Structure 1
Amino acid sequence: MISDGQFAADLFCNVKFLRISCYFDVSAIFPISFLRRFYNLEGLDVVFCNFKELASFESEVHEDKYMSITTPKIKKLKLDLVNNIRHLWKLDSPLDHICASLECLELWQCNNLINLGLDLSFFETLTTLDVWKCNGMSELITSFKVQSLVCLVTMRIRECEMMREVVASDEGETSYEIVFRALKHLELHCLQRLVSFCLGNYTLRFPSLEQVTLSQCPRMKNFYQGVLSTPQLHKVQLTATDFRGRWAGDLNATVEQLYKEQVGYRGLKNLKLSDFPELINIWSRNPQEMLDFTTLKFLEVCDSNNLRYIFNLSMVFRLGQLRQMEIKRCNNLEQVIKEEDSITMVEEAITDNSKIINIFPRLQSITVESCPDITSFYLGSKGLECPSLLEIKIANCSNMTTLISTFSRDEDKESIIGDEVDNVSTFFSNKVSFSFNKSSFIHLSHG
C-alpha cells in the first residue's frame, strides 16, 4: 500500500478521479488518510479488493485540523467486487466527511454486504443509487433510514439473488408515512426472491415517480399491500425501451396482472426450478404452458417428486440458449425428454428429411444425479444431436440403462469418452451423434 509520506502534499491536488483496484491483502486497511492528498477528488472507485471495511467502526478522531480541511468531498463512489465488506461505514468515521456531498453510489458485486444500514449522513445528498449483484442483501434499507433519501431521483436494483423486499421494517416501530419525495425512476430487475417493495404497515408515497421498470421478478405478486400513492405514474415498463408499457389503473393492479400472466419469468437466464413450487405444478401438468424461455442459459431441477419428465420434445426447440442443465434428487423422474404421441411439430422442424434433430445447440454440460427411477435421458423415434456438448455426468441413477436410444459416435470420438466406463456402448446405439470436441468427457457412476 502507498505510504502517506511518500509524495509531496500537493502532488495529487488536481486529480479528479481515483481508482483503487486489485488489492488482496485481507488485513489491509483502506488508505483513508492518503485520500487527503487528493484535494479536488470527485470520483472514487474501489474495485476487486479485499477490504473488510472502508473505515474503522471505532470512533476515530482526525489526525489534525489540516486533515479535515484538505480531505476531499467526493460526488461519486463505486464499490465493485469488494466481497469482504459487510457494512459501508459508521457515522463519525472519516468517510462520513469525505462523502458528505455524495450524489451517486454504485454497489456492484459486493456479496457480503448486508444492506446500506447504519447511520449514513450522505443519504441526504444522494440522487442516484445503483445496486447490482449484491447477493447477500435480503433488503436494501430499513424504513427509518429511508426517510433520509430526500434527494434520491434514481434507484436501480438488479440481479440480487436474496433480495426479498426493498424497504424492511424496523423492529418495534409503529406505522407511519414513508415519502420518496424526489424519486422519479425506479428499476427492479432479475430479483427472483422479491415479493414486494415493502412488507411493513406504512403509507408509501411517491409524488414524483414517473418511470417504473419491472422485469424478471416472478415472485412479486403486488408492489405494496398498504396505502400507496403514485400520482405521476401511468405505466409500468417491462424493459427500458418498452415505452408503451402496461397499466391496469394503478401500480398495484398492474403488478398483480403481470404476476397472473407470469410475465416475471420472461427473459430469465438462470432458473432454479425448486425455488418456484407454483412453477413446478404448471411444469408437471403441461410443460407447453410455460412461457418464453428462449433466453434461459442455466436450468437446475432439484428435489422434485412431481415430475416424470422435464421437457417434451417440441419444447426443447425453444431452449436455443441453454448452456448447462443440472437434474438432481428427482425421485419419480423417468426421462429428461419425452416424445409426444404426436410429433408433427418436431417433423416440421426437420427440413432436410433427416431423422436426426439438432437440439440444444449451445448446451455444454448435462448432470443427472440421484434420480432412482430414471431409465434414459431420451427414448424416442427421432435421433438427437447436441453439437456443443462437452460434458455428461450421470451419478447414482441405478435404473438408467440408456442415455439416448439413438446415438452414434465415430471411432475417434469414442476415445474421448474415457477408460473409467466399461459399458458405454449400452448407453448409445447407432443413429445420433453428440459432436464431442477434444475436451469432452463422460462420467458414469452408479454408486
Structure 2
Amino acid sequence: MELDGLIELKCFSSGGCTLIFPLLEDVIVNGCPNMKFFSEGPIKAPKLERVKVGMTEWHGPTKDRYFWKENLNMTIQNMFKEMATIAGAEFVRLFEFPKLVEKWHNEHNPINLSWQLETLVVDKCPSFINAMPSKLMLVLEKMTSLQVRECESLEEIFDLQGLEAVESTRVLPRLENLNFINLPKLRQLWNKDLQGTMRFNALYSLTLYKCSNLRHAFTPSMAWCLANLYHMEIKECDQMEGVIEEEEGQGSTVEKITFPRLSWMILKWLPNLTSFLSGKNHALDCPKIEYLRIAHCSKMRSLTWQSSLDINHNTPSLFTPRMNHLVK
C-alpha cells in the first residue's frame, strides 16, 4: 500500500470498522504531512512490521526511512513527530512538517542546534515572503544544498536584516548548491547588501528556473561574493533584463566583474534579456568559461551592455581559448 502526495489526508479510515489486511507487508507514506493516524477502528495486519517513508532528494538518490511502534496506528501517530525532531536529519522537505512551517519565521529559533541538516527544500509554503530568515542562516552551518520552489508569495530568498557585517562571514559556510524553481513573485535573492562582506565561498552551482518576476539576479557587489561559482543556469525567467544590474551611485570608472571559476553557463528562454551585464561602468571577465549556451533570448545582442559608439574593437574578449563549446 502506498499513500503519496495526499496533502490534505488526515487518516486512511475515519469509520470505526475493523480493517483486516492478512497479506499486507509494506506501507509507504510520502508527502502526507497532515496525516494524524491510520484508522479510528482496530487494524489487523499480522505481516506488517514497518512503515517506509521515501525522502526524494533533488540532487541525489532517494533516502528511505523506516518506522515502527507497536502497531500501524501508533506508528503513523509518532512518525512525523519523530522525523521532525531527529537530531541527525540530513534532508528536510519543509512542507512535510506543518508545525515547523508555522515556527519558521518566529522570533525563537525553530531549529534544534544539534541538527546535522545538509539539504533543505523549502516548497509549497504559500505564506512565505522570504525563505531563509537571518537567524536560521547562522545556525545551519552544515547545510550544503538549498532548493526553494513553488512558493507563490515568495519575494526574496535570504533575509539579511539584522545581520551585522562581522557575522556575515559565517553565514552558510558550506553552501554549495542553490536551486530556485517556479517562484512567480521572486524579485531579489537577498534584501540587504553588506557592502561586499557577505561571502558564499563554497557556492558551486546556481540554478534559476521559472522565476517570472525577477528582472536581475545580482548586483556587482553580490557577484563578487560568488568567487567559486562553477555552474550557472537561468531558464524561463520571462522578465529578466540582465543577469547583473548596475548599482546606483556608480561613478564613471570602469570596474571589472570577475567570475574566476565559472566554467559552465546556460541562458535559455529569456525573452527580455538584453545583456548579461547591464551598465557601461563594468567589464565582465570569465577566464575559465568552457561551455556557454544561449538559446531563445531574442533581445540579447551582447553579454555586456554597449552602444555602437562605445564599442572598442581592441578590447580583449571576456573568454579565453579554454571555451570549447558555444551554442546559440
TM-score by length of 2: 0.60
Mapped contact 1:22–1:47 kept (Cα < 8 A): no
Unaligned runs of 5+ in 2: 1-32, 35-79, 307-314
Task: Give the direction of change, closer, same or farther, for the CA distance of 1:74–1:147 in structure 2 (3 Å limit).
Answer: same
- The structure 2 residue matched to 1:111, chosen from 173, 184, 200, is 184
Percent of aligned pairs sharing the same letter:
21
Q: Residue 19 in 1 paired to residue 93 in 2?
A: yes
Task: Give the direction of change, closer, same or farther, for the CA distance of 1:111–1:162 in structure 2 (3 Å limit).
Answer: same
Task: Give the direction of change, closer, same or farther, for the CA distance of 1:11–1:140 in structure 2 (3 Å limit).
Answer: closer
Report which structure shows greater RCO (CA 8 Å, sep ≥6). Answer: 2
Q: How does 1:97-246 map to 2 (within 5 A)?
A: 99-117=172-190, 118-119=192-193, 121-174=198-251, 175-201=254-280, 202-225=282-305, 228-231=317-320, 232-238=322-328
State how far apart, in whole Å, the 2-side matches of 1:15 and 1:23 are: 13
State how far apart, in whole Å, the 2-side matches of 1:19 and 1:131 are: 19
Q: Which residue identity is paired with 1:214?
A: I
State how far apart, in whole Å, the 1-side matches of 2:144 and 2:120 are: 9
1:9 positional shift? 12
Q: How many residues align?
A: 226
- The structure 2 residue matched to 1:39, chosen from 99, 102, 115, is 115
Mapped contact 1:161–1:191 kept (Cα < 8 A): yes
TM-score by length of 1: 0.45
Q: Residue 84 in 1 paired to residue 84 in 2?
A: no
* Partner SS, residue 140 of structure 1: coil
* Partner SS, residue 229 of structure 1: coil
* Partner SS, residue 144 of structure 1: helix
Q: Whose helix fraction is larger, Structure 1's or Structure 2's? A: 1
Q: Which residue identity is paired with 1:170?
A: E
Unaligned runs of 5+ in 1: 239-447
1:192 positional shift? 0.6
Mapped contact 2:141–2:174 kept (Cα < 8 A): no
Residues 312-349 of structure 1: per-residue CA shift (max 9 Å, x gap): xxxxxxxxxxxxxxxxxxxxxxxxxxxxxxxxxxxxxx
User: Which structure has the greater CA radius of gyration?
Assistant: 1
State how far apart, in whole Å, the 1-side matches of 2:144 and 2:114 are: 13
1:34 positional shift? 2.9
1:113 positional shift? 1.2
Task: Give the direction of change, closer, same or farther, for the CA distance of 1:189–1:178 in structure 2 (3 Å limit).
Answer: same
State how far apart, in whole Å, the 2-side matches of 1:172 and 1:98 are: 27
Task: Give the direction of change, closer, same or farther, for the CA distance of 1:73–1:92 in structure 2 (3 Å limit).
Answer: farther
State how far apart, in whole Å, the 2-side matches of 1:17 and 1:185 are: 27
State how far apart, in whole Å, the 1-side matches of 2:97 and 2:183 are: 15
